[in-house]
Structure 1
Amino acid sequence: MNTTTARDYRQIPGTYVFDGEHNHKGYGLNMFCKSLDLESNRAAFRADSPYYLDRFMLSDEQRRAVLARDWLGMLRLGGNIYYTFKLAILDGLTMQHVGAAMSANGMSVDEFRAMMLAGGRPINGNRSVEEWSHG
C-alpha cells in the first residue's frame, strides 16, 4: 500500500518543486526573468531596476529578492530556477555561483564545486524536515 501523498516532497529540506501552486505564486517573478531574454529589456533593467520591476506583478518580498539577488529567496517565492538563472546570467554568474549562494553557510564557488565533485551534499540530516526535529 502506497501511503505517500502528492505533497510529500515538501518534507525534503531545501526542495522547491515547481508545481502548479508554486507556478501561480511566482508567475510575475518568472515573467520578469523571462523578459530578460530581450536585450532592450536587459538594458532597461540595468538602467533603472526598481522602475523596470514596476512592469510586473511582484510581491514586495519578490521585489526585494530580485534587487538583493537572493537566489534561494526567489525560489522560495515561486521562482523557477530556469527563469531566475536568466537574471544570474545578466550579472555574469554561472550556475555554480548561484548554487554556492544558495548553499547553507555561504559556501564559496570553489567549495561548492568541490562538494559537487565529491558527490554532493551529505544525505544525513537532509532526508526530511521531520529528521531535523530529532536533532
Structure 2
Amino acid sequence: MTGIATLILENNARLPPVDTLTRHRQHMAQQLAGVEKLPGTYPFTHERSLNGLRLNRFLHRLIEPAWRERFLQSPQSLYAEAGLSEEEQQLLNARDWRGLIQYGASFFLLEKMGAVVGVSNLHIYAAMRGQTLEAFQQTRNQQVTYSVAGKR
C-alpha cells in the first residue's frame, strides 16, 4: 500500500510597502516604454489580453480533435456556440493574422490555428508584415518553411 500525505504551506510573509511595489512596477515598465510607437509592434498588454480573452479561449480549444474538426467543417456554428463577436468571426474567416494579433490573439494560439488550417509559421509571419512568403524569405538568412503542425 502507498502512503498518501498532504502538505499545507501558508504564506506568512508580509506584503512589501506600496512605494516598493510602485518603484518595481515602474522599473519593469521601462523596458516597454514607447514600444507602441514602433511600426508593426503590438505589445500584448493587459488591455489587449482582456480584449482577446474570448477569442483566445476559442483558439485554445483547437487542441481538442473534435473542436478542430468542427472548426474546419462548420466554423460559423462553432463561432456562435463560443459567443464570438462579429469582428472576431471576420478576423478568423479572413485569416487576418495581423488583425488577430492587434485584436489580442495570442501568437502561440495563432500558430496552432495555422497548423489546423494548413498555413506554415512563415506564411503567418509574412502576412503579419504585409508581404508574400517569397518577399519575406528574402529578409531571412535561410529560406525554410516550418510549422508547429509537424509533418502531415
TM value normalised by structure 2: 0.68
For the pair 1:21 / 2:47, whether they are aligned, the reply is yes
State the match for 2:98 in structure 1.
Answer: 72
- Which runs of 5 or more structure 1 residues have no equivalent in the other structure? 119-135
- Whether the 8 Å CA contact 1:29–1:57 is kept in 2: the answer is no
Deviation at 1:84, TM superposition (A): 1.5
Cα RMSD (Å): 2.0
Aligned CA distance change for structure 1 residues 57 and 116 (closer, same or farther; 3 Å): farther
The residue type paired with residue 38 of structure 1 is: E
Q: Give me the identity figure in percent.
A: 25
Q: Give 1:15-54 correspondences, 5 Å limit.
A: 15-54=41-80
- Are the aligned partners of 1:65 and 1:73 in contact in 2 as well (CA < 8 Å)? yes
Structure 1: how far apart are the matches of 2:78 and 2:33? 35
Unaligned runs of 5+ in 2: 1-26, 143-152
* Helix, strand or coil at the partner of 1:111: helix
* Larger-Rg structure: 2
Q: Deviations over 1:78-98 (max 9, x none)?
A: 111111221111111111000
Contact 1:16 1:75 in 2 (8 A): yes
Counterpart code for 1:90: V
What is the number of residues matched between the two proteins?
114
* Higher relative contact order (CA closer than 8 Å, sequence separation 6+): 1
